[in-house]
Structure 1
Amino acid sequence: ELHESGASLLWKISNEEQSLRQKAISLESSIRRVRSSINSLISKKLLDPEFARKLEEDLQRASSILTDGEAAAFLPAEAQGRFLRMFLGPINVKASRKEVQLKVKEEYNSYRDRTAFLFLLFPLTLLILKSWIWEGCLPAFPVQLYEAWLLFLYTGLAMRENILRANGSDIRPWWIYHHYCAMLMALVSLTWEIKRQPNCAQKQRGVELFLQWAMMQGVAMLLQNRYQRQRLYTRIALGKANRMDVVWGETSGVDGQLWVLCPILFAMQGFEAYVGLLLLKTAFVGVVTEWQVICCGILLVLMAVGNFINTIQTLMTKSRFKAKMKRSKSKPELD
């Protein structure tokens, strides 16, 4: 009797879930159709732009409620990338309950907080020990230990970010690809022989610059975690961001924060490219001829260029959004 009752309950729950799933999919499809119709009418100049803007705001609000509420669990899960399938297999990582999704996000934020301090302290400690104890020459084991930690760090970030995207977060693909490149660079660096005497300072110049760049990135991560997350919570409260959105890159900052963060980010990207070019130079002039040097140099330049382009695109998007908001505010004043 208990077995039959349990089976009946599961069958009933399954049917109800299927019904809710169909309703959620139908509503999502309706929102897309209405948005497409609005865009078509605007292009044909058959709809007042101001009225269209209000409709778009209502649609955006409805879409946010659908994708950010409990109904999001009944929407079709996005296809998982190869990275997750490679590590976890063909399993669905989308949480069925919103509180579980938010728990994943909070764990990701905690992971970033913990690793940001280590990102700053680890290379700083190595450089201090290099000057005070190791007589200006880094031993191989501590550097390789740091590179192994970087591999663990970037793998963990990429794993968490892929899971967040599967649960509705807005992380841009480039930041995940950036972590893929960083993972590859850390893996290659583990096979890189750290040479000492003679000419230790010249041979380890690239390693020293990389550690200095890592310290700069640690500072940038701390600033992002501290200031931008507060702004993101405000945007979520105003309905301008999804509850699953996270801080990434330089977005979500207000004007004052961007004035602080952008110079640091651009300086860090320029320094990253400089370190990459320096590694390539040392390989081509014959100072250090290992293939790992060339590979790490190319990856650093690639990441620097990608970060710079993505930062510019984000700033342009924010600029267009602010201009649009100013125009919408000025219209009622003129009326």
Structure 2
Amino acid sequence: MLLQLERYQREWRELEEEFQQLQETHKVYRQKLEELNNLQTACSSSIHKQKRKLKDLKYSFQRCKRMSSPEESDLIQQINTQIKDRQNVFFDMEAYLPKRNGLYLNLVLGNVNVTLLSNQAKFAYKDEYEKFKLYLTIILLLGAVACRFILHYRVTDEVFNFLLVWYYCTLTIRESILISNGSRIKGWWVSHHYVSTFLSGVMLTWPDGLMYQMFRNQFLAFSIFQSCVQFLQYYYQSGCLYRLCALGKRNHLDLTVEGFQSWMWRGLTFLLPFLFFGHFWQLYNAITLFELSRHTECKEWQVFVLALTFLLLFLGNFLTTLKVVHTKLQKNKDEMKKL
């Protein structure tokens, strides 16, 4: 018994020593954390001042350019180019600094700091986002096929539509967090997820009836096609992005999108016919719903609202893709002229 007590006392002393070391380590950690917070505040303040001064300086150069000689104009142009490069550097710096959330993240998460401080954490979150899109695309494809050909029940349609709402809502939140951490996601390819969330929510509230049954199969067929195209886009875009990131031509936080961007031009133009077909299918959905809204039996407000939403999706997707193609063709044409 005495030997056991001595052993327990020895273990307690060792535990006490480890606890003292832990307290010292934690104290150092808190000091470093305080230093980190002070550095973050100082960097954010300096960047804000620099951006404000650069903006004033750029405006001053623009006024001087009107009355400058050709040599002075060239010098001003060089400085403007350097100012633009400096702004890109500021963007990369701010990706590692805490900043205020946008309106959407504030509404969903509150004033919570979502900035990831290490590249490893950023890339891990980006990979998690891509996997989420891939897995949910496959699940939605299987769900749409099951509802179209096997499960002809309203309750299964509701589950499928609810899954769509949850999927697009989650995408918008994750994309907002990625934007806060330096991902250059912008333009319509972000906005269309908000529109898709709204469209899925309206579909979820559409009561069963004649109008719903007349549009149901068309919508499910469209969902099957859309999921197939999204799967193709993920498969080919992820490979293209990996190659471009390895060559240093793209940011490691760039994402796959449900559309077409300039960096996809080489090797991915074969996707354009599928994309344009999907865009015009959205227009066909809008026309079908507009016709259904004029039907004598139509009493649901969802029909007309869905028609407008599909029309908005068509216009946004089609015009954005057309703009990217036109800009790229024009750029290639200008490069050929220089040669």
TM range (shorter): 0.7 to 0.9
Larger Rg: 2
Q: Which residue of 254, 265, 287 corresponds with 1:254?
A: 265
Does structure 1 retain, via aligned residues, the 8 Å contact 2:95–2:180?
Answer: no
Q: Which residue of 197, 207, 216 corresponds with 2:216?
A: 207
Q: What amino acid is the match of 2:121?
A: V
Q: C-alpha displacement at 1:65, in angstroms? A: 6.1
Does structure 2 retain, via aligned residues, the 8 Å contact 1:231–1:254?
Answer: no
Q: C-alpha displacement at 1:10, in angstroms? A: 4.3
Q: Which residue of 168, 186, 211 corresponds with 2:200?
A: 186
Q: Any unmatched runs of 5+ in structure 1?
A: 131-137, 331-335
| Equivalent in the alignment of 1:303 | 313
| Equivalent in the alignment of 1:134 | none
Does structure 1 retain, via aligned residues, the 8 Å contact 2:233–2:256?
Answer: yes
* Structure 2 residue 167 is matched with structure 1 residue 157: no
Q: What amino acid is the match of 1:181?
A: V
Q: C-alpha displacement at 1:281, in angstroms? A: 0.9
Assess, with a 3 A threshold, how the Cα gap between structure 1 residues 124 and 39 changes in structure 2: closer, same or farther. Answer: farther
Q: C-alpha displacement at 1:184, in angstroms? A: 1.7
Q: How does 1:108-257 map to 2 (within 5 A)?
A: 108-129=129-150, 138-195=152-209, 204-248=213-257, 249-251=259-261, 252-257=263-268
Q: Which residue of 301, 305, 316 corresponds with 1:291?
A: 301
Assess, with a 3 A threshold, how the Cα gap between structure 1 residues 55 and 228 changes in structure 2: closer, same or farther. Answer: farther
Q: C-alpha displacement at 1:126, in angstroms? A: 1.6
| Equivalent in the alignment of 1:313 | 323
SS at match of 2:264: coil
SS at match of 1:253: helix
Q: Indicate the percent of aligned positions where both proteins have the same amino acid.
A: 24
Assess, with a 3 A threshold, how the Cα gap between structure 1 residues 42 and 208 changes in structure 2: closer, same or farther. Answer: farther
Does structure 1 retain, via aligned residues, the 8 Å contact 2:172–2:194?
Answer: yes
Q: C-alpha displacement at 1:322, in angstroms? A: 3.3
TM-score (norm 2): 0.77
1:247-285 Cα shifts (integer Å, max 9, x gaps)? 221123234421x21111111111111112211211212
SS at match of 1:169: coil
Q: What amino acid is the match of 1:161?
A: E
Comparing 37-46 with 207-216, greater Cα deviation is found at 37-46
Q: How does 1:92-103 map to 2 (within 5 A)?
A: 92-103=113-124
| Equivalent in the alignment of 2:128 | 107
Instruction: State how far apart, in whole Å, the 2-side matches of 1:320 and 1:232 are.
Output: 23
Q: What amino acid is the match of 1:85?
A: N
Q: C-alpha displacement at 1:203, in angstroms? A: 5.5
TM-score (norm 1): 0.78
Q: How many residues end up aligned between the 2 structures?
A: 312
Does structure 2 retain, via aligned residues, the 8 Å contact 1:101–1:244?
Answer: yes
Does structure 1 retain, via aligned residues, the 8 Å contact 2:289–2:304?
Answer: yes
Q: Any unmatched runs of 5+ in structure 2?
A: 1-22
Q: C-alpha displacement at 1:64, in angstroms? A: 5.7
Instruction: State how far apart, in whole Å, the 1-side matches of 2:72 and 2:88 are.
Output: 24
Alpha-carbon RMSD across the aligned residues, in angstroms, is 3.5
Instruction: State how far apart, in whole Å, the 2-side matches of 1:239 and 1:35 are.
Output: 29
* Structure 2 residue 287 is matched with structure 1 residue 280: no
Q: Which residue of 259, 273, 276 corresponds with 1:266?
A: 276
